Chains A and B, each alone.
Chain A
Amino acid sequence: MLACGTVPVKDLPLISGRAVFEGEFLSVNGFKVPCAQGTAAMIGGALSVADCLKLEPPQALVVGDTGRGQGSYLLYEFLIQRVSTLSPDVLVLHYCLPDMTLMRKLCESVRSCAKRPLMIADAASMYAAKAAGLATEFDIFTPDLCEMAFLADPDASHPAYINKHLFEADIAKVPELVAAAYQLKSAARLLLVKGAVDYIAEDGKVVDIVSEPNIPELEAIGGTGDVITGIVSALAYAGLELREAAKTSALVNRMAGKLARPSPATRVWQVISQLPAALEQRRVTC
């Protein structure tokens, strides 16, 4: 499994290797990265699951980028050149500057892999895939409610431009948004829509819902959605059927959130720290 994305460390070169979760930090190849919102939280979630299930640890591929895009371009370029050689079983694409042209080239390179990786995208990698019309090349997207509205909007190339009435849709409208996104071919094979209620959708229809335990504070905590992406990626990597992996990840994230006894000020690494206990409670095995 190769988990890729940018991290907010200025001038951090493109680095790869096994990541280690060290509470407030993630260590990758000797470099310390804050285990906060974004790619680091996603990798932290994946690592916890891999550790608990005694899987081969995910490989992290991260680069510093504070918004100008230079790190993102290096990441795209590396993957475009090397993905067919690396041929990961699972490829997770996360925070980066969304670039339709480079995402298109990356998907072309992925098609040349001897064995097609399971393709998972969240954050701006999902934005780029949708905007470039490449959503159907992916197996899992993990949008929140606003991002689900973005996938259902035929014109928006970024969630900042979604139609106002779609943004105003509440969580109960997710089935309609899901149907619209699949109709537009703007959805991955499976959608895990993260929110007050988590919806799992395949082939245009909601196939499962997870709503308990309900911890409203989790929505305020930056990175909890990223953790779900990491969990579902690791569970899929472990061989769980995608629908089961999605349902389990939604449940386990909620349980870890509950165990963290969160407030709106809680940090995401405190939720990640509870994942082993949550997985144990859920008795996740593969």
Chain B
Amino acid sequence: MNLGGKVMVLKKAKVKAESGGLLLFEKVEDAVRAEEILSEADYTVRLVAPPPTFRMGCDLAIEINLVEQIGIGRLFREKGVNYLKVVPLKGAGRLLDVVKVTEFKDATMVKAGNMKVTFDKNKGTILNVSGGGCPDIPYLSASLIGKKLSDAPRPKDIGFTLCAMMMDRAVVECLELWRKRSTS
């Protein structure tokens, strides 16, 4: 098989989202405005009536790809859109909030979900990032590796996906460990 070394130009096809998540709103007008903003930003979303178990505010919700929730949350903050919360359509609905810590001789590795961030115990610099599978992770890794924990950008501020959110949790824990150790 040979693809002939081509550069391909294709347009994104519009498909009905199989979402995985719901954005919930207090007011109908917030939901309608949010849908407009997300569509303009090229997110594949849909206004729906939330199932009774998820109903919190108004009778409109937006189906989203659950993975994209941090990028969407940031866009809403920039545009001043109010929303109540994001809920997954299946499962307990809680993001993992536990971490595991592994010690090496001169480094500490923190695991949060599927992400692992390792920092230098003596200098507080980020040595490596591993795990994950979403497309922002290699980009975030390149942005963080070699930087001091205190100076590194927060994955939640520049990433878009749930993997980035887990990376952010690991970075926060690394920073707390580093600060505790430097002050003790």
How near does chain B come to A35, taking the closest CB pair, in angstroms? 11
| Cβ-defined contact, A36 with B141, below 8 A | yes
Given contacts A17-B3, A100-B18, contact A123 B133 (CB under 8 A): yes
Selected from B4, B8, B142, B160, the residue in CB contact (under 8 A) with A14 is B8
| Cβ-defined contact, B4 with A264, below 8 A | no
* Distance in angstroms between the alpha carbons of A124 and B115 in the assembled complex: 13
| Cβ-defined contact, B7 with A159, below 8 A | no
Residues of chain A with a CB closer than 8 A to B2's CB:
59
**B82 interfacial contact with A, CB 8 Å:** no
What total count of A-B pairs have CB within 8 Å? Answer: 246
Instruction: State which residues 1-45 of B face A: CB under 8 Å.
Output: 1-13, 15-18, 20, 42
| Chain A interface, >50% SS class | mixed
Determine the interface band of chain A, counting residues with CB < 8 A from chain B: 35 or more
Selected from B12, B94, B102, B113, the residue in CB contact (under 8 A) with A77 is B12
**B61 interfacial contact with A, CB 8 Å:** no
How near does chain A come to B65, taking the closest CB pair, in angstroms? 6
* Distance in angstroms between the alpha carbons of A163 and B94 in the assembled complex: 8
Measured CB to CB, the residues of A under 8 A from B are: 1-2, 6-8, 13-18, 29, 34, 36-40, 59, 61, 65-74, 77-78, 81, 86-89, 94-102, 104-105, 122-127, 131-132, 144, 146-147, 150, 153, 155-164, 167-168, 216-217, 219-225, 263-266
Measured CB to CB, the residues of B under 8 A from A are: 1-13, 15-18, 20, 42, 65-68, 71, 88-98, 100, 102, 104, 106-107, 109, 111, 113-114, 116, 118, 120, 127-142, 145, 159-166
**26 A-B residue contacts at CB 8 Å?**
A15-B7, A15-B8, A16-B5, A39-B138, A59-B2, A61-B3, A68-B71, A69-B65, A71-B135, A77-B13, A78-B8, A88-B1, A95-B137, A98-B133, A99-B18, A124-B67, A146-B111, A150-B114, A155-B92, A158-B67, A160-B166, A167-B96, A168-B100, A219-B116, A222-B129, A265-B107
